[in-house]
Amino acid sequence: MRKITLSLVVCAFAALSLSQVKLGSPAQTVQSLVSALESGKVNDAAKCVQNAKPTAQVKRNLETIPSQGVKLVANVQTPTIKGSKATATVTITVRMANQPSRSTTESVEFAKVGNSWLIVAPKTMPSPQSAISGIACMLVNGESSMMRPAQSDKTSVCMMNAKQLGLGCMMYAADYDDVYKFKASGWTNAIMPYIKNKAILTCPLDKPGTISYSFNASLIGKNQAVIGRPAETVMIYEGKNKKLLYRHGGKAVVVFADGHANLVSKEEANNLVWKL
């Protein structure tokens, strides 16, 4: 009888553990995702995202979050619900030891599946500020999420490299009153604490160990607030001295001052904004 009772207790604890992933509302789903990421439980995080199928590489990357001492705080505003779909504004605050807190706000889409509200990964590449959407894309599509199907794997990797570099630059600026204070010759070293991966400095189509990307020197020393057309202003690009290298079917990867990345042809390059 005692053995049966003990088995029931064990089962009860197991059920309690499983119930930690709560999906009954958009707010519960976001909180469950954040808790799972903080704990390095990628499979639990995947339960919060519709059609998630995390790759081995994504699992390895996300499982390192606890070892980095990252603390995540989510604030979910009251969602707008229309039938089986919902939209909510979510603010994520990231806290790390010996670093100031950073907050990002984004609009997150949800879909109701059965009794669960699941996060929907966007169909287009999210901006670097979109923490939840970015994680959702990784869990659904892998590291090279949201790339055009026609792009080669190497082009997809190059796009992701550039976006991560752009995010690193923006995180750096956030810690220096929104100013890009580094020097043109030392921008990669300045953002290394934020990206922590030298491999992303090299396009897969470039020679190993080469720094394939450059930072637009016109932005150095400038406050992000004075950039009048951030969606058109170059921040990071493939090439040097404001000359693009068109490695990807006649196009080059460019990251703009608002954080989005795109493939740019020679004709389109004529419309790029380099100076403020």
Q: pLDDT by residue for the chain (276 residues), tens digit each?
A: 444 444 444 444 333 344 479 999 999 999 999 999 999 999 999 999 999 999 888 888 788 788 767 788 999 999 999 999 999 999 988 886 656 677 888 899 999 999 999 999 987 666 656 789 889 988 998 764 444 433 446 887 888 899 999 999 999 999 999 999 998 889 999 999 998 889 899 998 899 999 999 999 999 999 998 998 898 999 999 999 999 999 888 899 999 998 888 899 998 899 899 988
Comparing CA positions, the residue from 165, 164, 109, 115 lying closest to residue 140 is 109
Distance separating alpha carbons of residues 43 and 190, to the nearest angstrom: 34
Residue with tokens 């720094």: 211
Backbone φ, ψ for residue 103 (5° rounding): -120, 140
What is the tens place of the pLDDT at every residue in 98-157?
566 778 888 999 999 999 999 999 876 666 567 898 899 889 987 644 444 334 468 878
| 231 close to 256: Cβ distance less than 8 angstroms | yes
∠ CA 190-72-261, rounded to 5°: 50
Say what angle helices 131-141 and 26-39 make with each other, to 10 degrees.
70
